[in-house]
Structure 1
Amino acid sequence: MDALAVVLLAVFSAGYLVLAGADIGVGMLLPWLGRDQRERRLVIASFAPFFLGNEVWLVAAAGLVAGAFPGLEHELLEELYPVFAVLLFAWVVRDMGLWLRGRVDASAWRGGCDAAVVAGSWGLALAWGSVLGSLLAGGGGLNAGSVLGLPLAVLFAWHGAGFARWRLPVALAGRAARVPSRYGLSALVMASAPVVAGVEVSWSEVVAEGAGLTMTAVTTVVVLPLLLAAQALVWWTFRGRVESPSYL
């Protein structure tokens, strides 16, 4: 059962980094991809239908860690609590910028919200890069994670460029095309990141025992097909290039 839980955690972690990593990366590149308010609305519209559904993968992964790997949860929070504080703050700032930018029809207001989206996206990328860096360093704590945090954060921007190249109108996609990235390739790299980081974790030392592990794993197995189906429906519905601004 513990092997199943590890595989499920790899699936949910990879799913989050591939899907949410794309909108985080696009947010990091927002000032470059969109030069004015009209263009920036199109850039945000490229991931607007997806970003809430993408975050469900993180919620599921966090629940799996709490239920099946309490030792890992304790270890990460103990060693990296400043990073997780930054992560949560950046998450709120970015989502606040996305939700509030359309509430007031004023260039200064939208500009401020766009700045929040960019800052929050960079904060998320750096925080996740530090978490992955710490795991890659064998649990070396905040210092080890900080060393690898920036290079890993750049992966989010690279992944975002690949997504933007696929989703944006041709005129704007040309800017993203200056970055040598394809969404399929960058998705493969992002999916590999948590798997490689997980190799350094001593899973037998952090896994739960008994009914808690079994219940968490079984519940996750039931939820996974539903999540995959919902995600596939959203991506099929909003496939292709975006042509008009969204509700954000």
Structure 2
Amino acid sequence: MKPIIAADELADALAGSRPPVLLDIRYRLGGPHGRPEYEAGHLPGAVFVDLDAELAGPPGEHGRHPLPDLEVFTEAMRRAGVSAGRSVVVYDASGGWAAARAWWLLRWAGHADVRVLDGGFAAWTGPLETTEPAPERGDFRPAPGALGALSAQDAGALARSGLLLDARAAERYRGEVEPIDPVAGHIPGAVSAPTSQNLDATGRFLPAGRLAERFAALGAEPGGEVGVYCGSGVSAAQQAVALELAGYRPLLYVGSWSEWCRDPAREVARG
């Protein structure tokens, strides 16, 4: 199953006898909370999920967006109606970053049937709703580990002996600027691969073949494992979607740079 779904495919699925659970993950890093946008209009039946509160734990030693408390995440998914055997579609309005975080967490927790709306909220041309739905409570039961997650030690080792991609903007990778974290630079051995290059001018993912060419040029082996990190494990999840779409097996370093740079014993590269 592809990790993305087109808007017209989603419209057909929503009109079917067993529509997918639809999750609205609109969120902007450092920006306003996404709920007002959701309340102003969302896809029919969509449930709002708070990235900071339900898809991440409190900031701390494991970074700005560490893995959420499993009970909190489980409750959020059950409240939204996520159940075994039922598909899930997630969307946002920020290049797939936030939606991909939900995609990755659900996949990591063992829910295989989940896709990201390609192009996000802007791609949807169907009707919108302003009322909040009350879906039947789901029976989601997480089984963590179904999708690969990297620790800081794992990420450092992969950068030395495999392929670890840095999904941040190139100037942050080079250490020329660092607007968020206390230290500038990148994990030694990591390769720069900004997420903006996964999308076309309309905000949709590039075709699988073009993505495969992109990652192969960065050193990915056909069908192989590729690690990825960003600032705090959000935008890197979008890169994980692109990697899977291109036929690779993504491994996400959830703590990412915001965890790595907290420990002065870890080496930092620049340039």
TM-score normalised over the length of structure 2: 0.27
Higher helix proportion, which one?
1
Higher strand proportion, which one?
2
Q: Which structure would you say has the larger RCO, counting Cα contacts within 8 Å and 6 or more residues apart?
A: 1
